[in-house]
Structure 1
């Protein structure tokens, strides 16, 4: 049997712990490296896409509670359902290590409709959320399809685009029925 001095054994143990700690740190740091390698267009899509979808979803919840118009409520329910699916798809498709905000709506947009009631609420909701919000969503998702580099994110954008286009068409129809100006895309 070989006898080693206590200092040698202690040094060997410390070296082993250092190797294990370094390896563990490298594994934990790997996801952050993935996030930094994400193309700028993809990062923008994650930030802008999730914000506009969250804003529309939260505004739709407000609309179902505050509007007395059944058409506005029906539109809001559709948006809420569609955007919950889009949010889940965005989270699932985002590369490992990339932070996708769970709930990051545009506070100014929500504040602008939050205290309104009746016809005033319906008008502001249709103009600011339904029409303008859907245009922002279309722009964000179309930009990802055109310029994004992450294939999973592009696939989500392509899969989600028909729902967003349908929401925008429904918003335009709703605005026409309520005698409000529609914005041409």
Structure 2
């Protein structure tokens, strides 16, 4: 039997402090999920979150500009469809992102938007079809395909897989629109 009088008080206090630190350390780590989650997120998934949300935001905002500026009913119809679909894709990406991971809220590529923002009429329609509907939609398609091929986070891969048919449909619609507007040489 150990007698308390034979154990110095400092030893008891040190043992108690050490025991409490061992119990508190895991709790402190559990309270910082952002650091823990971000540290475990694979580079391909991090790239997808940044590039995917930017690509979709760019498509969505350019489509809103086209809905307001274009006088062509086909371009407007395409833009309205893209804007509606991309709002749903953005919501799905947010929902699929791991807890604690910072997902850019509204981060479109401003250079793309600036390239069409001052144009009007047929010049606007042609630039929108070539630069946004075709070229940027193809980039968006590549970003989502890369996540499906290389991503590690199951929820992000699932979101990319579910969004891919919509993005493929947008690209096919853009190619068809380019052909109808006699931009067929650029619609590959």
Would you call these one fold, judging by a TM-score over 0.5? yes
**TM superposition outliers: structure 1 runs of 4+ over 6 Å:** 18-24
Deviation at 1:23, TM superposition (A): 6.9
Give CA-to-partner distance per residue, 1:19-67, whole Å, 9 cap, x none. 7996774333222211121001111111111000000000000000000
Inter-partner Cα distance in structure 1 for 2:101 and 2:154: 15
Q: Which runs of 5+ in 1 are unaligned?
A: 1-10
* Structure 1 position 33 matched with structure 2 position 36: yes
Q: Among residues 170, 179, 186, which one is paired with 1:182 in the alignment?
A: 186
TM-score by length of 2: 0.84
- 130, 153, 159: which is aligned to 1:156? 159
* Aligned pair partner of 2:130 in 119, 127, 131: 127
Pick the structure with greater CA Rg: 2
Deviations 1:125-170 (A, max 9, x none): 0011000111011100100110000000000111000000000000
What value does the CA root-mean-square deviation take over the aligned residues?
A: 1.8
Q: Secondary structure at the match of 2:32?
A: helix
In the TM superposition, residue 110 of structure 1 has moved relative to its aligned partner by 0.2
1:60 to 59, 63, 73: 63
Which residue pairs with 2:82 in the alignment?
A: 79
Unpaired runs of 5+ residues, structure 2, are 1-12
The TM-score normalised by the length of structure 1 is: 0.86
